[in-house]
Amino acid sequence: MILIKQADVYGPESMGIQDVLLCAGKIEAIGENISPICGCQVIDASGMKLIPGIIDRHVHVTGGGGEGSFHTRAPEVRLSSLIRGGVTTVLGLLGTDGITRSVENLVAKVKALKEEGISAYAVSGSYGFPPVTITGNLQKDIAFVDEVIGVKLAISDHRAPNISTDELIRLASDVRTAGMLSGKAGIVVLHMGDDIRGLEPVFEALERTSIPIKTFQPTHISRTEKLLKDGFRFAKMGGTIDITCGESKRDKVAALLREAKSQGVPMENLTFSSDGQGSWSKYDENGKLLKIGVSDVDTIIKDLAYLVNEAGFALEEVLPLGTSNVAKALEIDGLKGHIREGADADILLVDDQLELHTVIAGGKVMMQDGEVQVRGTYDER
């Protein structure tokens, strides 16, 4: 049992100075003056902000990369790296490589992260089509593998399988049905490339069917001006668009959000993710790889800090993009992304500059005083 005293609580909305009691991995109570219970650990959070743990919806937990041959395969994510990024919930997925990497390995890593102390989910598939699966059937993956909540696919990219609209419709229909049967989100995570087609295949699929727009969830939406324009249109229609943090100068993210607001894009339909442990790459006009590197998993909290400290956004305005908006999109908002009674005890304590002080995942202290307390089995000590 943990009692956090006198924190400035953002849930993600501003809730003022409150005490927060954690018990059995849940938020038990929130109040102005909660008395300590015998044996309860007390954390004095005076002068600190208390916010929900970050939900990172796009992490290559088994490593991404590989476009520059085998030596460019990125390593697995470490628990300590996620903790340093304030990430208490992660969605793991494959990237370009659905050949030398497998969904079996992905789900095994997701299970390992759960055992090590954070919440973790996965999607089957990679860039290719038909999607790689565990059971040999995508619908069975979603229905019977607890961690799997959907599928990934690449479109409008030179590495994409270039499937037809009919195939996209069939895939989305299968995922939608399997999600309904298993009580999961049932989403198609769409890796978006920089082809001129943008989201046109998705708009066509929506026009031709009654598939709910929430089924399609495109990411890397700021990659090109055309794609961003499509993304804003998609969000105005009620869909969720995902913005990759740390891709470029942070003032670009601020400009993107200002443009979205000026165009009347609902902010609740925007999310942040890191693309952590995935590769970033640059190609010449002939498609030859020029440069490759690995993305970090701390970019969401860093971008939030920039937006608040330097770009003039209010914390309660941008915090949902890494917390409650993501929980809604993944349909886990009953448990995640909020500071409220009955929610999972996934909590961050940050200072006025949004520097991490304490990370609590599932009611367990993972970082305290800026020092990681719980490390993965093979983390560096």
Burial classification of residue 272, based on how many CB atoms lie within 10 Å of its CB (0-12 exposed, 13-18 middle, 19 or more buried): buried
Please tell me the pTM assigned to this model.
0.95
User: For position 38, what pLDDT does the model report?
Assistant: 80
The Cα–Cα gap between 219 and 57 comes to 10
The Cα–Cα gap between 344 and 342 comes to 7
155 and 164 Cβ atoms separated by less than 8 Å:
no
User: For position 247, what pLDDT does the model report?
Assistant: 65
Torsion of CA 124, 127, 128, 129, to 10 degrees: 60
Task: Note if the bond before 12 is cis, omega within 30 degrees.
Answer: yes
Measured CA distances, 22 to 84, 324, 343, 345 (Å) = 21, 19, 10, 6
Query: Hey, CA dihedral for 234, 236, 242, 243, is it positive or negative?
Result: positive
Domain limits, CATH 2.30.40.10, in the chain: 2-51+343-372
User: For position 84, what pLDDT does the model report?
Assistant: 97
SS3 79: helix
The Cα–Cα gap between 302 and 297 comes to 10
Q: How far apart are the first and last CA of the chain?
A: 27
- Contact residues for 254 (Cβ-Cβ < 8 A; gap 6+): 306, 307, 311, 313
The Cα–Cα gap between 54 and 51 comes to 9
Burial classification of residue 7, based on how many CB atoms lie within 10 Å of its CB (0-12 exposed, 13-18 middle, 19 or more buried): buried
User: For position 381, what pLDDT does the model report?
Assistant: 64
The Cα–Cα gap between 57 and 275 comes to 8
Domain limits, CATH 3.20.20.140, in the chain: 53-329
The CATH class for the domain spanning 53-329 reads alpha beta
**Backbone φ and ψ of 357, nearest 5°:** -115, -50
DSSP state of 276: B
CA 40 to chain centre: 32
The per-residue pLDDT string of the chain (381 residues; one tens digit each, 9 = 90 and over) reads 999 999 999 999 999 999 999 999 999 999 999 998 888 999 999 999 999 999 999 999 999 877 778 888 888 999 999 999 999 999 999 998 889 999 999 999 999 999 999 999 999 999 999 999 999 999 999 999 999 999 999 999 988 999 999 999 999 999 999 999 999 999 999 999 999 999 999 999 999 999 999 999 999 999 999 999 999 999 999 999 999 998 667 788 999 999 999 999 999 999 999 999 987 777 777 777 777 778 899 999 999 999 999 999 999 999 999 999 999 999 999 999 999 999 999 999 999 999 999 999 999 999 999 999 999 988 876
Burial classification of residue 177, based on how many CB atoms lie within 10 Å of its CB (0-12 exposed, 13-18 middle, 19 or more buried): middle
SS3 106: helix
247 and 280 Cβ atoms separated by less than 8 Å:
yes
Residues marked active site are found at 275
Task: Note if the bond before 130 is cis, omega within 30 degrees.
Answer: yes
What's the CATH superfamily of 2-51+343-372? Urease, subunit C, domain 1 (2.30.40.10)
Measured CA distances, 134 to 33, 122, 137, 179, 281 (Å) = 50, 12, 8, 16, 29
